[in-house]
Amino acid sequence: MKKIGFIFPGQGSQYVGMGMELYNNFSESREVFNKADKLLGFKISSLCFSASKEDLDKTENTQPAILTTSLAVLKVIEKYGIKPSAAAGLSLGEYTALVSSGALDFEDAVPLVKKRGKYMQESVPEGKGTMAAIIGLGSEAVCDACREASSLGIVQIANYNCPGQIVISGEVKAVEYAMKISENKGALKTVKLAVSGPFHSSMLKSAALKLEKELESICFKDFNTKVISNVTADYMEKEFIKDILKQQVMSSVKWEQTINKMLQDGINIFIEIGPGKTLSALVKKINRKALVANVEDLQSLNKTLNLLENYK
């Protein structure tokens, strides 16, 4: 039996031109971009389609841009009657998942993620924090490396992406030391990431507190589709959404655990909705037998529709 899970990308998946093909071919997609333009007071469509990479990569621009693009793609998928059994999103993608589930209104989500991006950007002075990927080392060994390196400052696990791929985050010296310790413990590779801050670490506490204030005025609704939280790797409950979104900014993203939860609950087709194929690749690394697809343009849309039609 076909059981679909929708997965929504986070920051880092953006590229100039994202969403343009579907915008040009589907009125449903155009409508989403036009709504976002009005909500933000500037043309997010122009930012996505033709701005400089530098402008698109600014965190407070990136977040509403990816959210809008992903939801514009989702509207096209919904036009074909494709519905998921559950949804999840990586970091920022969790907001897209919440909108897709009916729990969060698009009108609230777009300005909210713009502010989220701004608060995250402003929370740590540039150059003070960083992130790094640790490749080929188990989570326990990475935890130990972070513990040892914390003598030099804050460093902790930011993302459990998939087996053998963990991202750490924190103060520059502590992260660099944790990278060296991880290499000594047998990591195949450590790579410092080109990011503007130590996301998903306790250094983002000030951003979390500002976000908490913004969330006070937002009314969340009942879920039409279940959404799995980054923080707990379990299904969200309406009354805890605000606290989870506050915690999520400064907590580890349990992506591997989230996908395993979906697999345990019988999801057998994962559709990545929005720019890029990062999440599709991670799902395959978590479970090689999982069936994955992505939708971001006409070619990938047709490929996904064919896959679903021929699925036995």
Residue with tokens 């506050």: 246
H or E segment at 158?
Answer: strand 155-162
- What is the C-alpha separation between 285 and 213, in angstroms, rounded? 38
Query: Residue 154 and residue 160: Cα distance in Å, rounded?
Result: 18
Contact 175, 130 (CB under 8 A): yes
Please tell me which residue in 13, 29, 91, 182 is annotated as part of the active site.
91
CA distance 204 to 194: 17
91 in active site? yes
200 is catalytic: yes
Q: Which long-range contacts link 299-302 to residues 24+ away (Cβ below 8 Å)?
A: 301/22, 301/76, 301/77
Token pair in block for residue 230: 């980054």
Question: Could you give the 3-state DSSP secondary structure of residue 197?
Answer: coil
Q: Which DSSP string corresponds to 21-51? A: HHHHH-HHHHHHHHHHHHHHTS-HHHHHHHS
> Concatenated DSSP letters for 238-259?
GGGHHHHHHHHHHS-B-HHHHH
Single out the catalytic residue among 70, 101, 123, 200: 200
Number of H helices, E strands in the chain: 14, 9
Token pair belonging to 52: 């400089």
Give SS3 for 157: strand
Active site residues: 91, 200
